[in-house]
């Protein structure tokens, strides 16, 4: 009888875990409240929720980011052209407010820049549509 290699079993478990997370997308439309456009983002072990945020070019967002995990995470935001505009580290259980001016239409990518975290699902986007 052939025994399973522990590395093969680990890779299989990782693939199953990733496939269980695939397709779980949350969309949030930014709604003004008291003249401010706020979005709450929750960072946990290998996910950022919501994963899709819809807003408009010209909006000023206040991202309220909470790290619900027991390890350090990060929130890095790139403009549609790829330029990094914000990068904030969050300790375990820490919350921060990250102001963001959407100065152009397009897809603003956000992710955790810690090794392998983005690949394992800690990423999302802000879809900045032209103003109404």
- Model pLDDT, residue 96: 96
Tell me the C-alpha to C-alpha distance, in Å, between residue 77 and each of 4, 81, 101, 113.
41, 11, 11, 10
Give 123's pLDDT tier (boundaries 50, 70, 90).
very high
pLDDT at 17 over 90: no
pLDDT at 5 over 90: no
**Mean pLDDT calculated for residue range 50-69:** 93
Give 49's pLDDT tier (boundaries 50, 70, 90).
very high
Find the helix or strand (DSSP H, E) in which 40 lies.
strand 36-44
- The per-residue pLDDT for range 19-33, each reduced to its tens digit, is 344 444 444 555 555
pLDDT at 59 over 80: yes
Q: Which residue has the higher pLDDT, 109 or 30?
A: 109
**Domain ranges (residues) in the chain:** 26-129
| Residue 88: partners with Cβ closer than 8 Å, 6 or more residues away | 65, 74, 75, 76, 96, 98
Place of tokens 């603003």: 108
Q: Which residue has the higher pLDDT, 77 or 132?
A: 77
Domain 26-129: give its CATH code.
Answer: 2.60.40.420
pTM of the predicted model over 0.85: no
- Model pLDDT, residue 131: 84
């Amino acid at each position: 009888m052939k025994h399973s290699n522990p590395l093969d079993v680990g890779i299989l478990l990782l693939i199953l875990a990733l496939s269980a997370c695939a397709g779980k997308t949350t969309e949030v439309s930014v709604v003004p409240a008291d003249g401010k456009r706020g979005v709450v983002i929750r960072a946990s072990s290998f996910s950022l929720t919501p994963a899709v945020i819809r807003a408009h070019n010209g909006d000023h967002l206040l991202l309220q980011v909470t790290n619900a995990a027991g390890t350090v995470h990060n929130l890095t935001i790139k403009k549609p052209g790829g330029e990094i505009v914000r990068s904030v580290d969050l300790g375990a259980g820490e919350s921060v407010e990250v102001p963001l001016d959407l100065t152009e239409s397009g897809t603003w990518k956000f992710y955790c820049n810690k090794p392998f975290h983005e690949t394992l699902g800690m990423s999302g986007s802000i879809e900045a549509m032209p103003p109404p």
